[in-house]
Amino acid sequence: MLRLAGTRLCAAYGRELKGFSFPSLWREKDQRLVSRLIHGVFEQKSVVLITFEGFSRNGRSNRFELLALPLDGGVENPRCLGVISAAEKPFWLGADPITDALIDTIRIIDPEKELLNNRPAISVPSLVPDEIEAPETISALGRARRIRHLVVFDGGRDE
């Protein structure tokens, strides 16, 4: 059961999804598989990545990705966080509702079987520029004036 669904997701499906059965968003032949995959997220704390093709009422299609992550709600309250993202943003998405979904690929990541700590680290460059020295004062940046709690720099259009 969907507990919460964002505005864009509801718009893509053309209806409020809160309270709907999650497997009901899929083709009938895939509903049982989706149900088992989501129960695996709840019970085995696995991560599921599904790519699928969504079909609109008027026969248009778009590719989507679904990521389901387990949350610790205890035995009494199993929960997961799901994210659905469109691969592209066609003009019709949100105006022509998705009515059918066909699974393309499934990837299950089981933290008990896949050791994530043996993967190589990726170095990320600093986002702070180091070539420019920080000015001592705001006025050193150029013509600026203070208006109440704001600092306004002269510039913009030359008209």
**What pLDDT was estimated at residue 139?**
53
d(CA 33, CA 123): 38
**What pLDDT was estimated at residue 153?**
72
Token pair belonging to 155: 């510039």
Whether 5 and 18 have beta carbons less than 8 Å apart is answered as yes
Whether 145 and 139 have beta carbons less than 8 Å apart is answered as no
Mean pLDDT for each consecutive 10-residue tract of the chain (159 residues)? 86 91 89 91 89 94 94 79 92 93 90 63 66 54 71 68
Question: Which is nearest to 15 in space by CA: 79, 117, 108, 97?
Answer: 97
**What pLDDT was estimated at residue 72?**
81
**What pLDDT was estimated at residue 63?**
96
Whether 82 and 9 have beta carbons less than 8 Å apart is answered as no
Q: Which CATH architecture has domain 7-113?
A: 2-Layer Sandwich (3.30)
**What pLDDT was estimated at residue 110?**
76
Q: 3-class DSSP state for residue 63?
A: strand
**What pLDDT was estimated at residue 64?**
95
**How big, in percent rounded to 5, are the helix, strand and coil portions of the chain?**
20, 30, 45
In the block, residue with structure tokens 């864009």:
8
Q: Is the dihedral of CA 150, 152, 157, 159 positive or negative?
A: positive
